[in-house]
Structure 1
Amino acid sequence: MMRHTFLLLAAIFGFSLAAQEGPKITSAVIAADRQDLAEAKSYIDEAGQIIGTKSLSEVRSKDLAKFYYYKGLINFRLTQSSDEAIKALDPDALDKAAEGFKNLIEYEKQIGKERYTDDVKQQLPYLANAYASRGIEASGKEDYANAFIDFQRTYDLKKDFGIGTDTSMLYNAALMAQQAGNNAKAIEITEELIAMNYRGLQYKAKNAATGDPVEFGSKKQMELSVKSGAVTDPVIEGDVRPDLYLTAASLNKKEGDTAAYDNWVSKGREMFPENEALLRAELQTFLEKQEYEKALVNLNKAIEKDPSNKLFQYIKGYIIQTETKDLEKARAAYAKAIELDPNYVEPLYMSGLTYVEEANAITEKMNALKLNETSKYNALQKEQNAQFEKALPFFEKAHTVDPKDKDTLSALKEVYYKLKMYEKAKTIQTEIEAL
């Protein structure tokens, strides 16, 4: 009889051990229902510790599903509490909430019985927003590494659980990864955004009643509001795609992958042939490789599409002057740039420099003369002075526009000296010394 009693007690004791997480979960639920989050948190953590000592197959499916759900719910409520003491109970509460909800959805899908899945799906958008808010807060504190993590989590959470593809969060994650110096991750995400054809567009309108600006999360939302008469004057702004190509290129270059840099710049130019930043990047590539003809072909195409672009005209002139040495053609390009903007310092200065280069070429001829070739020397000197006189108005105009440009000041002083305008040369020297 004693032996049977012992076996019965052992069985009862063993049963109580196997079932002890159940009462803890129930207590957590009761505490949560009466808004006692501190007690609810304590009970759900105790239940988690007990479950952690067992194989999941030893826990009743009903209890395990309830545990996952309330682990998520209680921890999430902690993060949303207005009581700072409650929030401080667990600094990792948001991550534990996400873990609980994720485990619940996966578990109920596995067992084929959904007790709490619908309830969790209602909570997920708020959970995602909490991650986004925490990411924004981290970004404001320049904690870019954690901001990246939270923006990435926001994107993954919405995508994985069918809330929607929040590409703006993925874009923010790429920016934060870049700021944090995590180039590998920034490259990966940026290239993913390019593949998605992410534009980063902003949808704006005006409140029909107040005239206040209103922003929408999508074009569809904006169009529905316009149709209802709630807003007017809809506009779509922004397109970050050219920047994405540039970012992918520059980050790869930082990592030493020049082939990838060239590839992304080239693809970006194909997609956005009129984008100045991409044009500059491609031009720089051509110049580094000394592929000047390609650079000029590139520029001429861009000028055909946008003849009013003064920068294109200037760069064309610069390449012709410095690389192909056709000073007349260079001056023609500069003249078009100056025509578009009479106060454009760079082509003004470079136009003057073309005449100085011609004057310097004459100097070489003068130095090659024999001492008794005085008449030839004087004729060449007169020709040289004529070139300096042609250069002078360009340098003077550039100086008027930007009185502190060192290159212009140096060039202007030298030309004044060459033309024996010594007082003006001294004035310029004074200006140089005052910088």
Structure 2
Amino acid sequence: MKMKYFMLVLAGLAISITSFAQKGEVNNAKANYIKYTSLKGAPGADKLAAAALNDAKTAVDKATANEKTKADPVAWAYRALIYADLALADSVDSKTAPLVAEAISSQKKAAELDKDGANKALIESVPPMMAQYQFNKGVRAYNAKDFAKASAEFQEGLTYTPKDSVLTLYSGLMALYGKDYKTAIKQYSAAVANKQYSPEVFTTLSELYFTEKDTINAIKVAAEGSAKFPTNTGLAAKEIEYSLVAGKNKEIIDRITELVKKDPTNKYNQYYLGIAYNGMGDFAKAEEAYKASIAIDPAFVDAYLNLGGLIMDEAIIIYNATNKLPGSQQAQYVEGMKKANVEFERAFPYLQKTIELNPKSKAAFTNLKVYYQVKKDTDKLKEIQAKIDSLN
């Protein structure tokens, strides 16, 4: 009787030891993985980190293959993490693809087994790693100038982290680089829908719609962006430009004029009115509006730039037309050049003021270069060209 009892105790002890041994593999995998994460990226620790990760893989493979621990969600969660990091540690697609497949299947298995959600945080840390893996692939494709592949890789990353702002915008940007405008529109639209926007996102999306001859959406997006970023002059200018292209001259002028009436001290409204009149070819009213904007804010650099550019354009038109006159019309030539010079001189102080307010304004220096070309001032031309070159 005593012997039988002793044998039962020994049998129970053997089962306990075996179970503990396999549970030990889970703990071993966990310990080595934690060791790997602490060593990863540390100076001179690459070999130690790699060894720890490989030891973690060996242990977790044993744990998930054993009858005693193959239903343990922790084992599968760590297997997913370990395989994900193995994939991240390599850059050869043929080697990493099977590792990624194992990471994904292990993560799904862990989620299935984690009935009470006790390991939810651990399991949910895997998808961002897969997204990072796809991001790395996208960067490699970009470096190889394969923009279509880069966009596809970034989009694949979104299957793991659907609202990732970096992946969304990068996938759109790569599609833009690859001239896949429909995909670019889709991705930039997603960024706007996810409220991952900036003035540049709205501007790019508006331009994309315009490129695709969808003027209605080009105007709509520019208007939406302008409403969200009221001090961004570029977006408002896009809305005005595309509205004029669409033949909505009266509507846009009436709308801005109404804004001016409601808020006459708003420099932007006068500035936008100037852009609208300029786009319509009504230069006198455009000049008047720009001057009104400057009167409100004497340091409004954009208004100085546009006003100087507007007057320069008028001067160039007169100058070029005068140069085309036949030699028999000498009197008209002299009169034309006189008028052109008057306009060039009118533009000059606005160009100077622009540069004073913004010494890095390439547009202002370019206009100033034309001014000195007309004046045939070679010394100044060299000086201005050097400035332009330094801004490139």
Which has the higher Rg, Structure 1 or Structure 2?
Answer: 1
Which residue of structure 2 aligns with residue 172 of structure 1? Answer: 132
Preserved contact between residue 310 and residue 336 of structure 1 (Cα < 8 Å): no
State how far apart, in whole Å, the 1-side matches of 2:297 and 2:168 are.
29
Cα deviation for residue 122 of structure 1 reads 4.1
- 1:3-402 to structure 2, matched below 5 A, reads 92-104=54-66, 115-117=68-70, 120-123=72-75, 138=89, 157-162=106-111, 163-164=119-120, 165-166=124-125, 167-181=127-141, 183=150, 184-191=152-159, 193-194=161-162, 198=163, 240=165, 243-253=166-176, 257-269=180-192, 272=195, 275-289=198-212, 295-313=218-236, 315=238, 326=281, 328=283, 342=299, 344=301, 348-402=304-358
Larger CA deviation: 84-93 vs 251-260:
84-93
Q: Relative to structure 1, is the Cα distance of residues 363 and 259 closer, same or farther in structure 2, using a 3 angstrom cutoff?
A: same
State how far apart, in whole Å, the 2-side matches of 1:248 and 1:87 are.
32
Q: Relative to structure 1, is the Cα distance of residues 283 and 87 closer, same or farther in structure 2, using a 3 angstrom cutoff?
A: closer
Cα deviation for residue 427 of structure 1 reads 3.8
Q: Relative to structure 1, is the Cα distance of residues 401 and 127 closer, same or farther in structure 2, using a 3 angstrom cutoff?
A: farther
State how far apart, in whole Å, the 2-side matches of 1:417 and 1:127 are.
71
Cα deviation per residue 1:184-206 (whole Å; 9 max; x = unaligned)? Answer: 44322225533xxx36xxxxxxx
Q: Relative to structure 1, is the Cα distance of residues 417 and 259 closer, same or farther in structure 2, using a 3 angstrom cutoff?
A: closer
Cα deviation for residue 161 of structure 1 reads 0.7
State how far apart, in whole Å, the 2-side matches of 1:342 and 1:325 are.
26
Q: Relative to structure 1, is the Cα distance of residues 367 and 78 closer, same or farther in structure 2, using a 3 angstrom cutoff?
A: closer
Preserved contact between residue 75 and residue 97 of structure 1 (Cα < 8 Å): yes
Aligned to 1:116, the other structure's residue is in SS state coil
State how far apart, in whole Å, the 1-side matches of 2:280 and 2:351 are.
20
State how far apart, in whole Å, the 2-side matches of 1:353 and 1:269 are.
33
Aligned amino acid, residue 154 of structure 2: A
Which residue of structure 1 aligns with residue 256 of structure 2? Answer: none
Aligned amino acid, residue 186 of structure 1: F
Using structure 2 for the length normalisation, give the TM-score: 0.57
Preserved contact between residue 131 and residue 151 of structure 1 (Cα < 8 Å): yes
Q: Relative to structure 1, is the Cα distance of residues 301 and 432 closer, same or farther in structure 2, using a 3 angstrom cutoff?
A: same
Preserved contact between residue 287 and residue 310 of structure 2 (Cα < 8 Å): yes
Preserved contact between residue 310 and residue 337 of structure 1 (Cα < 8 Å): no
Preserved contact between residue 317 and residue 334 of structure 1 (Cα < 8 Å): no
Preserved contact between residue 348 and residue 394 of structure 1 (Cα < 8 Å): yes
| Total equivalences in the alignment | 310
State how far apart, in whole Å, the 1-side matches of 2:62 and 2:81 are.
17
Aligned amino acid, residue 193 of structure 1: T
Q: Relative to structure 1, is the Cα distance of residues 385 and 401 closer, same or farther in structure 2, using a 3 angstrom cutoff?
A: same
Q: Which structure 2 segments of 5+ residues have no match?
A: 1-13, 40-44, 112-118, 142-148, 245-274
Preserved contact between residue 173 and residue 184 of structure 2 (Cα < 8 Å): yes
State how far apart, in whole Å, the 1-side matches of 2:196 and 2:32 are.
52
State how far apart, in whole Å, the 2-side matches of 1:385 and 1:272 are.
50
Cα deviation for residue 97 of structure 1 reads 3.4
State how far apart, in whole Å, the 2-side matches of 1:398 and 1:431 are.
14
Cα deviation for residue 330 of structure 1 reads 7.3
Cα deviation for residue 259 of structure 1 reads 2.9
Cα deviation for residue 357 of structure 1 reads 2.0
Cα deviation for residue 414 of structure 1 reads 2.8
State how far apart, in whole Å, the 1-side matches of 2:136 and 2:313 are.
48
Q: Relative to structure 1, is the Cα distance of residues 370 and 249 closer, same or farther in structure 2, using a 3 angstrom cutoff?
A: same
Aligned amino acid, residue 188 of structure 1: E
Cα deviation per residue 1:210-266 (whole Å; 9 max; x = unaligned)? Answer: xxxxxxxxxxxxxxxxxxxxxxxxxxxxxx3xx443223234456664432233234
Which residue of structure 2 aligns with residue 12 of structure 1? Answer: none
State how far apart, in whole Å, the 1-side matches of 2:354 and 2:181 are.
37
Matching of residue 408 in structure 1 with residue 376 in structure 2: no
State how far apart, in whole Å, the 2-side matches of 1:369 and 1:122 are.
88
Preserved contact between residue 152 and residue 170 of structure 1 (Cα < 8 Å): no
Preserved contact between residue 322 and residue 336 of structure 2 (Cα < 8 Å): yes
Q: Relative to structure 1, is the Cα distance of residues 332 and 268 closer, same or farther in structure 2, using a 3 angstrom cutoff?
A: farther
Q: Relative to structure 1, is the Cα distance of residues 128 and 187 closer, same or farther in structure 2, using a 3 angstrom cutoff?
A: same
State how far apart, in whole Å, the 2-side matches of 1:187 and 1:429 are.
49
Cα deviation for residue 365 of structure 1 reads 3.2
Aligned amino acid, residue 205 of structure 2: E
Aligned amino acid, residue 190 of structure 1: L
Cα deviation per residue 1:357-400 (whole Å; 9 max; x = unaligned)? Answer: 22222234324545454554444334323332332233212322
State how far apart, in whole Å, the 1-side matches of 2:293 and 2:212 are.
26
- Percent identity of equivalent pairs: 15
Cα deviation per residue 1:315-339 (whole Å; 9 max; x = unaligned)? Answer: 5577778996647487799789987
State how far apart, in whole Å, the 2-side matches of 1:354 and 1:286 are.
28
